[in-house]
Every structure is written in structure tokens, then in C-alpha cells.
Amino acid sequence: MIEIHREELTGIPALHAVKSGNMKKELPLIFFVHGFTSAKEHNLHFAYLLADKGFRVILPDAMLHGERADGRTEAEMMYEFWNIVVNTISELDLMKNKLAAKGLINDHIGVVGTSMGGIVNFGALTQFNWIKAGVSLMGSPAYEAYARGQIQALKREGTDIPYTDGELEEMYRQLKKYDLTMQPETLNGRPLFIWHGKKDPVVPFGLTYDFYTKIRNDYQKHPERLQFLADERAGHKVTREALLKTVQWFTAFLKE
């Protein structure tokens, strides 16, 4: 049986999934980060399968999402997109430290996310060497390039952007700190699984695949630690195959 507990970790609403009898044990940990406008409850199918494999799974609500929503529209939230991403990265560290202080986790820790959550995964890998394995499901490691593309798309649509060009350039500059394409060496051979649909209209497939081809040589000694699964037909929706591959990935690379 899998238990689902609702709790707050350093003030962050989260769901905590664990196999019955394991709640107080020291376990390998997986953070699951949801996508933009989604919420923690929407990914319990991932949590169930991962917890069944013996992992402790934490699904937090990102800033302005789920229980942390404040009534803003999706359009209003869009202008906070990168603030949400960066804030979530920092909150992963806070939650990890809280769980460690309780003696509930070991040093086998992974991060997985869909869309915005996949973007968070890539950025977190640049910041924290405590992440031992990562999974991105239709995310992008190219923070600056993707952010510039988002703004260009809004301008083409005639959207009134509430930032000056100077403010936008400052945002791009700050995002470089988390841009994995600019510092691929921070991966340091850690296991990384990437899934992306070729017909994705939201997060560009090309930016992610280009990054994969760039880092393949870095995994020559351990090619099994890097995998890119491209879905020829998928758009911006995670398939069951991606779900099952995620579970297989963490079972292979995160269990003791």
C-alpha cells in the first residue's frame, strides 16, 4: 500500500508519497516538480509508481500554484514564469535540508519534472551536487535562449510586455547562472534522462536535443548514464512510456 500525506516543508505545501511502513525510515528521495499552471496533485501517478519502488517522493506546489495560488490569471502568471522557476530551485534545497534534519533521507536524491518542472530540474543540476540523478520530461536546459524565444513570441503576437528592453536583458543575464547549456560540466557525469515530443508547440524540442548532442561526448565512459528519448508523435503531453521510463531510470541509478 502507498501512503499519501499532505504536509508543509519549510512552509511549502507538498504531498509526501511513501510505501506503508517506510514513513520513518531513511530512504532515497525523489522530488517531482509540476508544470506551469499545474499543481502537486496532478502527478500522483508518478508518485505512486516511484513510492512502490521504495522511494520517498515529495511533490511540492510551486510559487503561485496549487495551494499557493493568489488569484492571478495565467497571463499574469506568465510574467512570473522565470521567478517561479528560480524560486523553486532554491526551495528544493530548503526541503532537502529539512528532510535530512529529520533523518528521513540518504544521499540518493533525484529530481524529475514536467515542462516547467523539467526546466527546474535542469537548473537545479547547475546548483546542487547533492542531486545524484535527474529526469526532464519536455523541459529545456537553455534558459536564456528559451526566455528570449518566449519574449519574441509575445512581441510577434502584439502583446504589451510590461518590461523595458533593459530590464529584459538583465533578466537574461541573471538566468545564465542556471543555464545548463552554458555550464554542461556541472553535470559531472550524473545520470540524466530526457524525454521530449518532437511536435511540442510549447517547449522547443530543438534546444533540448541540441544540448543532448553537445554533451554526449562527456558520457563516453558511461554512455548508459545519458539517454534522450524522442517521441515522434507527442506534443506537449507526457506519455505513459515516458512515465515508465522515468521509474526505470531512477530504479537503475538512484537505488542503493
Residue 256, pLDDT > 70, answer no
- Average per-residue pLDDT in the chain? 96
Residue 126, pLDDT > 80, answer yes
Which pLDDT score is estimated for 86? Answer: 98
Which pLDDT score is estimated for 238? Answer: 96
Query: In whole angstroms, what is the distance from residue 39 CA to residue 131 CA?
Result: 22
Query: In whole angstroms, what is the distance from residue 70 CA to residue 222 CA?
Result: 45
Which pLDDT score is estimated for 65? Answer: 98
- Here the CATH number for the domain that contains residue 174 is 3.40.50.1820
Which pLDDT score is estimated for 45? Answer: 97
Total structural domains within the chain: 1
Which band of pLDDT confidence, cut at 50, 70 and 90, is reported for residue 117? very high
Which band of pLDDT confidence, cut at 50, 70 and 90, is reported for residue 147? very high
pLDDT digits (tens, 9 = 90+) for 170-226: 999 999 999 999 999 999 999 999 999 999 999 999 999 999 999 999 999 999 999
What are the CA-CA distances from residue 22 to residues 8, 16, 56, 250 (Å)? 19, 12, 8, 18
Rounded to an integer, the average pLDDT of 113-128 is 98
Which band of pLDDT confidence, cut at 50, 70 and 90, is reported for residue 255? confident
Residues 6+ apart with CB under 8 A from 92: 31, 33, 111, 120, 124, 128
Count CB neighbours of 223 within 10 A: 9
pLDDT digits (tens, 9 = 90+) for 156-172: 888 888 889 999 999 99
> Domain limits at 87?
2-253
Which pLDDT score is estimated for 101? Answer: 97
Rounded to an integer, the average pLDDT of 45-60 is 98
Rounded to an integer, the average pLDDT of 5-24 is 97
Do 50 and 57 meet the contact criterion of CB atoms below 8 Å apart? yes
Which pLDDT score is estimated for 108? Answer: 98
Do 134 and 110 meet the contact criterion of CB atoms below 8 Å apart? yes
pLDDT digits (tens, 9 = 90+) for 97-111: 999 999 999 999 999
What are the CA-CA distances from residue 214 to residues 132, 181, 198 (Å)? 21, 9, 18
Rounded to an integer, the average pLDDT of 108-132 is 98
